[in-house]
């Protein structure tokens, strides 16, 4: 059974990862709106960054 600090830590990890991925998505949409011709490169970079953030969040969740 998880203790209260572990539950709070896990919640903060999930919230932090969600905020990071949301920010990446929002910034990518703004960049695509400014330069539609670069949408492929922007989308690729966005997916890689989101995967890295999610991976770090997943690893941190196991460490908590």
Domain CATH code at residue 36: 1.20.20.10
- By C-alpha distance, which of 53, 31, 54 is closest to 43? 31
Instruction: Report residue 17 as tokens.
Output: 């990862």
Residue 56 lies in a domain: yes
Residue 3 lies in a domain: no
Q: How far apart are CA 57 and CA 64, in angstroms?
A: 10
Provide the domain limits for residue 46. 8-63
Q: Is residue 18 within 8 Å of residue 54, measured between CB atoms?
A: no
Residue entry with tokens 């970079």 = 45
Q: How confident is the model at residue 47 (pLDDT cuts 50, 70, 90)?
A: very high
pLDDT of amino acid 63: 83
Whether pLDDT at 38 is above 70: yes
Report the domain count for the chain.
1
> What's phi and psi for 3, nearest 5 deg?
-80, 165
- Per residue in 52-63, pLDDT (tens digit) is 999 999 998 888
pLDDT of amino acid 61: 86
């Amino acid at each position: 059974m998880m203790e209260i600090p572990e539950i709070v830590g896990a919640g903060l990890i999930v919230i932090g990862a969600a905020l990071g991925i949301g920010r990446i998505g929002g910034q990518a949409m703004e960049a695509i709106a400014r330069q539609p011709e670069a949408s492929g490169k922007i989308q690729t970079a966005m997916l890689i960054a989101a995967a890295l953030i999610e991976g770090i969040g997943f690893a941190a969740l196991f460490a908590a």
